């Protein structure tokens, strides 16, 4: 029988969410478990599955609408039901068709700019007179006076035969080639589109502002010689069924560094310092609507093949907006890699309540001194951002040294 579909609580304690995209068209049928809509929370894009089978009779919330949890978003029908049931349930829910919002129109306003244009002499019109009065602009009269020209001798080309500046200038240059002049032209401003902030973008802005203003950050950086690790990756991928990325090797090195310095695997809470036994690492993924940070669980327990499969799956689903809520929660550490964009070095903002984030730059050929000689090596700049409440400078330095040692000497990966 006909029923009302309501906005589910896809995020714990959330009060509202956004209809990002309906996956079923009005009038379309669906089966149990089929995706009905993509709902955007503050942290992820979640697909809402159908709990029954039926037909989507009418949207009560369009794409882009922000809806309170529990509010009606659609009317679902059974075979044989139609407009009568839709009207009845809309009345029951207190929803009118006119209450469904329309998209916001774009706005464009004109502006006056000055441009250089080449003008050719234009056909003249008889001088305009009214009771013997000569019609001309003040600017035209001034230019004519300055150049000793009688305005009465000029044929006006303005509205109604009015003498304008260009007429005087044409009179001055009579017999010469057309010349460039400045004229005021009204052209429209570049059009623009206002895109309302998504829930995800609002959450990113709020959380990072909170992090930067309430968490005492400090930063450590280290240039790391990456030749051996990059060579290891090349050789590994020649033999392995599942290829690994540089990010995968960074994650393994991070986990190994926490094995070496377990005291750094902590987060700050108001009541205590919480230390973890496994290493759960968030990886920053650039999605269409903002930054998503899925968590790779127990990296310390995964071999390279398992890690490559896990990260590929999470990254692909993060970009497609298919992550589950539990896949973006938790973790004590983050890795953000902008090296693929050629970024040499940067500092990242902590992702609360995590205590550290490692920013990764591009591998670039640079001169280094080895055994007293200048040699060229592939260098990656790593910058560690740390919550000083949870980790002191000396402890952070120990951890970074352990990471550098692991990354520069990858042979432990074979053990």
- Residue 120 pLDDT > 60, yes or no? no
Selection from 40, 72, 77, 34 nearest residue 57 by Cα: 77
Helix 227-239 crosses helix 393-408 at what angle (to 10 degrees)?
50
| pLDDT interval class at 184 (50, 70, 90) | low
| pLDDT interval class at 130 (50, 70, 90) | very low
Q: Which residues pair with 268 in a beta bridge?
A: 273
Helix, strand, coil shares of the chain, percent, nearest 5, are 30, 30, 40
Topology, domain 199-414: Chloramphenicol Acetyltransferase (3.30.559)
Under a CB-based contact definition with an 8 Å cutoff, are residues 257 and 402 in contact?
yes
Under a CB-based contact definition with an 8 Å cutoff, are residues 56 and 30 in contact?
yes
- The dihedrals phi and psi of 308, each to the nearest 5 degrees, come to -60, -40
Q: Stretch 121-129: mean pLDDT, rounded?
A: 43
The CA distance from 247 to 296, in Å, is 12
Task: Please indicate whether residue 188 or residue 250 has the higher confidence score (pLDDT).
Answer: 250
Helix (H) or strand (E) holding 72: strand 72-77
pLDDT at 129: 47
- Residue 103 pLDDT > 50, yes or no? no
What whole-number percentage of the chain has pLDDT above 70? 83
Under a CB-based contact definition with an 8 Å cutoff, are residues 384 and 261 in contact?
no
pLDDT at 178: 40
The CATH number of domain 3-93, selected from 2.60.210.10, 3.90.1150.10, 2.40.50.100, 3.30.2350.10: 2.40.50.100
Domain boundaries, the chain: 3-93, 110-187, 199-414
Cα–Cα distance list, 384 to 247, 263, 391, 396 (Å): 15, 16, 12, 8
pTM of the complete model:
0.62
Where b means 16+ CB within 10 Å and e means fewer, 260-289 reads ebeebbbbbeeeeeeeeeebbbbbbbebeb
Selection from 412, 99, 123, 136 nearest residue 249 by Cα: 412
**Choosing from 6, 388, 401, 408, which is the catalytic residue?**
388
Catalytic status, residue 197: no
Kindly give the pairing relationship between strand 333-337 and strand 356-360.
parallel
Q: For domain 110-187, give the CATH superfamily.
A: E3-binding domain (4.10.320.10)
What is 241-264 written as a DSSP string?
SS---HHHHHHHHHHHHHHH-GGG
- The dihedrals phi and psi of 315, each to the nearest 5 degrees, come to -65, -45
The CA distance from 269 to 253, in Å, is 26
Contacts of 90 (CB under 8 A, 6+ apart): 58, 60, 75, 96, 97
What is 117-158 written as a DSSP string?
EE-------PPPEETTEEPB-HHHHHHHHHTT--GGGS---S
């Amino acid at each position: 029988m006909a029923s009302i579909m309501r906005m589910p609580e896809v995020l714990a304690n959330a009060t509202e969410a956004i209809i990002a995209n309906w996956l079923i068209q009005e009038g379309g049928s669906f089966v149990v478990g089929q995706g009905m809509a993509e709902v955007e929370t503050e942290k992820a894009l979640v697909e809402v599955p159908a709990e029954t089978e039926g037909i989507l009779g009418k949207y009560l919330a369009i794409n882009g609408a922000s809806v309170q949890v529990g509010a009606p978003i659609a009317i679902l029908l059974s075979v044989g039901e139609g407009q009568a049931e839709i009207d009845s349930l809309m009345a029951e829910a207190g929803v009118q068709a006119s209450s469904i919002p329309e998209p916001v129109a774009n706005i464009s306003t004109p502006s006056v700019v000055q441009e250089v244009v080449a003008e050719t002499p234009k056909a003249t019109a008889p001088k305009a007179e009214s009771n013997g009065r000569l019609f001309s602009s003040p600017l035209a009269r001034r230019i004519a006076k300055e150049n000793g020209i009688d305005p009465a001798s000029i044929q006006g080309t303005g509205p109604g035969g009015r003498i304008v500046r260009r007429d005087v200038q044409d009179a001055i240059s009579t017999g010469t080639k057309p010349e460039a002049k400045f004229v005021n032209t009204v052209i429209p401003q570049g059009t623009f589109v206002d895109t309302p902030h998504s829930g995800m973008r609002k959450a990113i802005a709020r959380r990072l502002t909170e992090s930067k203003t309430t968490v005492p950050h400090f930063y450590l950086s280290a240039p790391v010689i990456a030749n051996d690790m990059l060579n290891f990756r090349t050789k590994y991928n020649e033999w392995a069924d599942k290829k690994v990325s540089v990010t995968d090797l960074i994650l393994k090195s991070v986990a190994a560094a926490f094995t070496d310095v377990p005291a750094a695997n902590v987060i700050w809470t108001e009541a205590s310092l919480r230390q973890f036994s496994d290493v759960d690492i968030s990886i920053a993924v650039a999605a269409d609507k903002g930054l998503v940070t899925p968590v790779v669980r127990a990296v310390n327990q995964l071999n390279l093949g398992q890690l490559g499969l896990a990260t590929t799956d999470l990254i692909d689903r993060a970009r497609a907006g298919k992550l589950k809520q539990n896949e973006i929660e938790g973790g004590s550490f983050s890795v953000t890699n902008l090296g693929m964009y050629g970024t040499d070095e940067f500092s990242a903002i902590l992702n609360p309540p995590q205590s550290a984030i490692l920013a990764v730059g591009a591998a670039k050929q640079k001169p280094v001194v080895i055994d007293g000689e200048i040699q060229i090596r592939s260098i990656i700049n790593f910058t560690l951002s740390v919550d000083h409440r949870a980790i002191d400078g000396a402890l952070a330095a120990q951890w970074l040294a352990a990471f550098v040692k692991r990354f520069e000497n990858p042979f432990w990966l074979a053990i």
